Amino acid sequence: MNWRALNRFGRNDRGSEFYRTCLDYGQVLWRQNLPARAILCLDRAWGANLDGSESILDPWPLPYQALVHILQNAPQEAFIGNPRVHFQHYADRLGEPRLEQRKWRSWACWALSCKACPELPGDPKHDVEEPTIELISTKLDQHGHPNETQLWQSVLAEIQ
């Protein structure tokens, strides 16, 4: 499996099959010791055009737990970049489709990154106010899938 697996989907064909392919390719990259690229696949999975009712989400919920697993288990020699800065910038630079949903998912991932990897610095030159956990929760309630906020909060609470 390689990047072509995702490129076969057009801009408007980003439903359940695209979501599953993002997760599968992310797993392939993780097993190849490429955690930063695996995280980018998770970014694409969060951007899939799903409304929360799709059956794929039963066995494969939105990959908040997968992100934390990567952050906490990436080998030291593997490049992971700075996920905190990545999600901070990503949230601030997204465009349509589903801008608000993707933006608040990115901030949710930023919060997970901050808690899972507290040693990673933010970008002091990035002039944007970082949201509180309460604001992220409110916005996920407004723009996310049903029960997405609870899923994210449970993953956040489990981080040691």
Percent of the chain with pLDDT strictly greater than 70: 100
pLDDT digits (tens, 9 = 90+) for 46-68: 999 999 999 999 999 999 999 99
Angle between helices 83-93 and 35-46 (to 10 degrees): 30
Q: Low-confidence residues of the chain, pLDDT below 50?
A: none
Q: Quick one: pLDDT at residue 127?
A: 83
Q: pTM (2 decimals)?
A: 0.94
Domain map (residue ranges) of the chain: 4-158
Q: Quick one: pLDDT at residue 160?
A: 85
Q: Please, which residues have CB within 8 angstroms of residue 46's CB and are 6 or more apart in sequence?
A: 62, 63, 102, 105, 106, 109
Q: Quick one: pLDDT at residue 26?
A: 97
